[in-house]
Amino acid sequence: MDFTETYEILVNVPKDGGSLILHCIGTACDVFLIEGLTFPRANSLDDHFTNVLLDGEMVLDLIDGEKVPRFLVFDVIQVGNERVGDYDFRTRSLFLQKRIFGPRQEAIEKGLINEQKQPFLLSQKESFEIGNTKHLVENGAFLSKIAHKTDGLIFQRASGKKAYYRNGRHRNWNNSSILKWKPQELNSIDFKLKLQYDAHQTQNLSKTQALLYVGGEDKPYGQMKFHEELIPLNNKIIECSYDFEEMSWVFIREREDKSWPNYVTVADSICKTIESPVTKNDLLQAPMIIQIINYNLQ
């Protein structure tokens, strides 16, 4: 199947009418209670939506030298009793624009919502037609306008569903048609670090091993060179990249926002990308894009 011909592909850069109570669920399944956000209805700005399930990410925008939290919404699953996740991605994006963010922006302009008093900024993450890929990766002026850090591109089938329902319950699609591209130097895996001392537990540092674990596996997935700075990170989630010269994983940072490492299938996929990277030049060639997408759909 010629994926880019059969389906439309969109690409994006990866990141009130009454008082609402909002629950934000993080990547570690942490639930945060957020108060003070409002999602007014288009036909009545004094009324607001309830039972809204959005998908997005929290980023820190650098505005006038200050870090400002912003929640970027890139998808919608449910609004009221409407199962928006059953619609294709293009329709869902239009739904967000017209039904969620349009009325909200109108309420801001009319002074019904004071953004300065909101717990954080809210905006819809923009998507682009696949023909804009070259512009997104090469246009420095465009990238400089993005106020937060980005680490690649996400390609998504415009006709793909977000979710489905079985026995009245929401389920996620295991959708391999959503692909993420990163520059080779930014490919990394989130491991759980476990320090293994010598058999007598004497903490003889010269014999200490820094073992790396992923989800779904009881044995170590990899190993990195031990150094004393790793001691406080024992049993923590750490992000690592692979150094081909040293033939070893290298510590990047602690992932304080995560409680679990990447699952083994995710780690395997990232390793394949590290071993056989798709360069920027590859990405800009349409035949290569088609080959990548078809390979991942098999």
Predicted TM-score (pTM) of the model is 0.65
Distance CA 93, CA 127 (A): 9
Q: Which residue has the higher pLDDT, 165 or 263?
A: 263
Class of domain 186-275: mainly beta
The domain made up of 7-181 has a fold known as D-amino Acid Aminotransferase; Chain A, domain 1 (3.30.470)
Q: Looking at residues 179-186, what average pLDDT do you find? A: 80
Domain boundaries, the chain: 7-181, 186-275
pLDDT tens profile 184-213: 878 899 999 999 987 665 556 777 899 999
- CB contact at 8 A, 220 and 212: yes
Structure letter (DSSP) for residue 113: S
DSSP string, 151-216: --EEEEETT-BSEEEETTEEEE---TT-EEE--GGG--EEEEEEEE--TT----GGG-EEEEE-BT
pLDDT score at 154: 79
**Are domains 7-181 and 186-275 of this chain identical in fold?**
no
pLDDT tens profile 29-61: 566 677 777 788 888 888 888 888 888 888 888
pLDDT score at 65: 84
Average pLDDT, the chain: 77
CA angle 262, 267, 272 (to 5 degrees): 160
pLDDT tens profile 118-158: 888 888 988 888 777 777 777 655 555 565 566 778 787 77
Q: Where are the alpha helices (DSSP H) in the chain?
A: 3-6, 89-95, 102-109, 133-138, 140-144, 264-275, 280-283, 286-297
Structure letter (DSSP) for residue 82: B
Above 60 in pLDDT, residue 281?
yes
Q: Which residue has the higher pLDDT, 4 or 117?
A: 117
Q: Looking at residues 234-260, what average pLDDT do you find? A: 92
